[in-house]
Amino acid sequence: MDYFLQNLINALQWGSFYAVISIGYSMVYGVLMVFNFAHGDIFMLGTYIGFAIATLFIAVFSALLPTWVIFAAVVIITMFLASWIGVFVEVVGYRPLRQAPRASAAITGLMIGIIFETGILIFLGAKRLSFPPLMESHVYNIGGVYFTNIKVMVIVISLILMLALHGLIQKTKWGMAMRAMSFDFLAVPLMGVSINIIAPLTFAIGAGLASVAGILYGQAYPILDPYMGVLIGWKAFVAAILGGRGSIKGAAMAGYLLGFIEIFVAMVFPSTFRDLIAYSIILLILTYRPRGFFGMEYSTKLRL
Amino acid sequence: MQLKIKNLHVSYGNIKALHGINFSVEAGEIVTVIGANGAGKSTTLRAISRMIPSEEGSVIEFNGENILKYSADKVVAKLGICHVPEGRRIFGNLTVTENFILATFARKDKNQIKKDQKWVFDLFPRLEERKDQLAGTLSGGEQQMLAVGRAYMSGHKIMLLDEPSMGLAPILMLDMFEALKEINRLGTTILLVEQNARLALKFAQRGYVIENGELVLEGEASSLLDNPDVKKAYLGA
């Protein structure tokens, strides 16, 4: 039982990364009906930005400010900066191709991703960097279940982010515009709403979320390298599709499911078998539920 | 002249939809463009609201200002030209209230928005009763009310209406046109395109007849109603 609870916490943490990242895929798909295949590398770049800000802040302020202030400042500043990567990807990569065939828009993301990876490789070299700890790690033991404050923080901050996003999408006019775009893209400008504001905003939110996931990831697994976004990006993409294209709720839930399956498979089988078995299970789920958990029931035929 | 259209050409790929049409609308008028399916009625409205591009040399002016330099959202937000598109195009996944909020996205005049909202709810009380309902669950008539009310909220110097009678029962159709008259009485110019020519010509002051992307007739609505060619082609008499 202890062993089970232990893995439950691990799964929640691991699933949090997938959930927060997969939302970025889902939002962009919901609003623009394209997959942003640069998203995994946006996560990577966001982690590097978080790394730079964290290193700077720890060097300058660690004697002056309490830990949690530094942590909050790093998260907020990184989120702000990383969201501009999202804007960049939309404006440079996707906007010129809005009228283009879907496949062209898809490879745009792939290419931008490769450009980001190579860019980091050229400017920072191939050596792996280590994400500085933003807080001291403590191990707690409750009834035989061991967990660190880092794990709790990853889980809690991810939940806060997702709740905040939910509020933004449900309660603000920008969120309404995003939902409206997912229903009928072409009618949105008739409301006086500029697609050229809502589209980059959507990319920006996805990128901002991914960058916070990057900081959290850096706290749990403090190694940075230019290709760190590839596999986790693909897996988050799997979660986005499994959740149902365009469904944010679905993406988050599928992200957690992925985390659970991976962790619990590793609990039973040797860890080298983890992805093989985990993704076979997901393939099986998709076979029986091809539209994912919350596949869009409505969608207009009239798209760009 | 509030709206002036000169030499308007529009193509969809290689297919020419409008072959240089000219017409104008005065402030406060109700003008209709009637014609058969595929004649270019919707295309005309879409060109004005900038949903589709016009070809080089086309002129569309609103109060002397060149519309063609604006994007679709600016035509609504800056010029106050609202468009009730064909098939209503309401956001079915948003509530009635959210549809209205979205329509005022670019507006800053909070007090006036409140007044406009109240006015729209007075005009269409059914919408107020259903304001928290998802728009997709409304009946066809209610959806049309929402489409018109929402357009009014987005800006109402001129309203472009694309087949507001489509899919409505006759009694609802008459109610809708009564409401449109009320909107016009408050100062909104109306440019209406309709397949239901009789209804449109009874409602409008002036009319144009469009055929294969060209305007072939124009005149007072009453005289078009009596025109033997119009009668034969569009009024089924």
Out of A173, A184, A192, whose CB is closest to B91?
A: A184
ipTM of the complex model: 0.93
C-beta separation of A232 from A43 below 8 A: yes
Joined tokens for residue B5: 């259209």
The pLDDT of residue A4 is above 90: no
Joined tokens for residue B77: 């937000």
pLDDT of A125 reads 85
Joined tokens for residue B78: 């800056």
Q: What is the pLDDT of residues A71-95, one digit of tens each?
A: 999 999 999 999 999 999 999 999 9
**Residue of B102, B109, B154, B157 to mutate for A, most A C-beta atoms under 10 A:** B102
Out of A183, A187, A194, whose CB is closest to B71?
A: A194
**Residue of B98, B109, B110, B158 to mutate for A, most A C-beta atoms under 10 A:** B98
The architecture that CATH gives domain A2-300 is Orthogonal Bundle (1.10)
Whole-angstrom Cα Rg for chain A: 19
pLDDT of A296 reads 60
A173 CB neighbours in chain B (<8 A) are 101-102, 105
Distance CA A32, CA A25 (A): 11
Percentage of chain A beyond pLDDT 90 is: 78
Note whether B73 contacts A173, CB cutoff 8 Å: no
**For range A263-273, the mean pLDDT:** 91
Packed helices A274-288 and A228-242: angle between N→C axes, nearest 10 degrees: 30
Distance CA B49, CA B159 (A): 10
The pLDDT of residue A304 is above 70: no
The pLDDT of residue A301 is above 80: no
**For range A102-118, the mean pLDDT:** 92
pLDDT of A300 reads 44
**Residue of B45, B73, B99 to mutate for A, most A C-beta atoms under 10 A:** B73
Centre a 10 Å sphere on the Cβ of residue A141 and count the other Cβ atoms it contains: 8
**For range A206-211, the mean pLDDT:** 98
Tokens 């060209």, located at residue: B214
Note whether A190 contacts B91, CB cutoff 8 Å: no
Exposure class string for A122-134: b at 16+ Cβ within 10 A, else e: eeeeeeebebbeb
Distance CA A119, CA A140 (A): 40
Task: Choose the most confident range, by mean pLDDT, from A97-111, A166-180, A279-293.
Answer: A166-180
Joined tokens for residue B62: 């609103």
Q: What is the pLDDT of residues B31-54, one digit of tens each?
A: 999 999 889 999 999 999 999 999
The pLDDT of residue B133 is above 50: yes
Note whether A184 contacts B103, CB cutoff 8 Å: no
C-beta separation of B160 from B132 below 8 A: no
- Compute CA B87 distance to the chain's CA centroid, rounded to the nearest angstrom: 12
Going along chain A, which residue ranges are E strands? 129-130, 139-142, 145-148, 223-224
Distance CA B117, CA B130 (A): 14
The pLDDT of residue B105 is above 90: yes
Distance CA A89, CA A199 (A): 11
Out of B93, B103, B151, whose CB is closest to A298?
A: B93
Note whether A180 contacts B51, CB cutoff 8 Å: no
pLDDT of B159 reads 97
Whole-angstrom Cα Rg for chain B: 17
Q: What is the pLDDT of residues B143-174, one digit of tens each?
A: 999 999 999 999 999 999 999 998 899 999 99
- Tell me the sheet residues that pair with B18: B10
